[in-house]
Amino acid sequence: DAKTTQPNSMESNEEEPVHLPCNHSTISGTDYIHWYRQLPSQGPEYVIHGLTSNVNNRMASLAIAEDRKSSTLILHRATLRDAAVYYCIPAQGGSEKLVFGKGTKLTVNP
Amino acid sequence: GAVVSQHPSWVICKSGTSVKIECRSLDFQATTMFWYRQFPKQSLMLMATSNEGSKATYEQGVEKDKFLINHASLTLSTLTVTSAHPEDSSFYICSADARQGGYGYTFGSGTRLTVV
């Protein structure tokens, strides 16, 4: 499993953009980059995933570096409900398990 | 779509008893489900991979005789914590592979187990 490095914590203000970085320098060529988030006392929630190209969905955008050794999850306008622990997880497309690192705890200030 | 229902959401049991946690995929079929455990202020730790109709695959260090996993149908996997002890108190979370429907891995809401 590729190792990941994420900041332990980040803070943002409500309605401002948030950029959550993740380093995954040992990622293999077939690993997808998954992002999940976990609100307190809940199971994780899928956010977004990508392989090489940048990806957008209704929740967030994922910017993947050209060498794929890092990626950034972008929340365009943070809300209080976005306060959670965000996990970046490289995983092979055919692999069936997700291995969670420590993640980044995002605090959103009103 | 791709909802996973986990039950119960919390349970308190006495030491030495067994507790069963259910994980159901409500609107899709899940050949593969996963069981995680999470201690306070820690990340999720994968315990085992549950495959419909076959034996579960346990991660290193997880006692298969203590954490019994059954995946008898495409919509239900169960985790039984046998002879529970206080150190088994934790937040247990199941997950199902819903990637075919474009939903990624879908997680249950978790079960808070307290062993007294």
The pLDDT tens digits of the residues spanning A56-68 come to 999 999 999 999 9
CA distances from B59 to A62, A97, A99, B79 (A): 30, 11, 11, 14
Tell me the average pLDDT across A86-97: 80
Chain B nearest CA to A35, separation (Å): 10
Which of A96, A99, A102, A104 to mutate to test binding with chain B, by most B CBs within 10 Å of its CB? A96
**B32–A43 C-beta distance less than 8 A:** no
**Kind and range of the H or E element at B95?**
strand B90-97
Residue of B nearest to A103 (CA): B43
For residue A38, the Cα-to-chain-centroid distance in whole angstroms is 11
Peptide bond preceding A110: is omega within 30 degrees of 0, i.e. cis? no
Residue of B nearest to A86 (CA): B43
pLDDT tens for each residue of chain B, 116 residues long: 689 999 999 999 999 999 999 999 998 888 889 999 999 999 999 999 998 888 899 999 999 999 999 998 999 999 999 999 999 999 999 999 887 777 778 999 999 999 99
Per residue in A9-38, pLDDT tens?
999 999 999 999 999 988 888 889 999 999
A92 close to A81: Cβ distance less than 8 angstroms: no
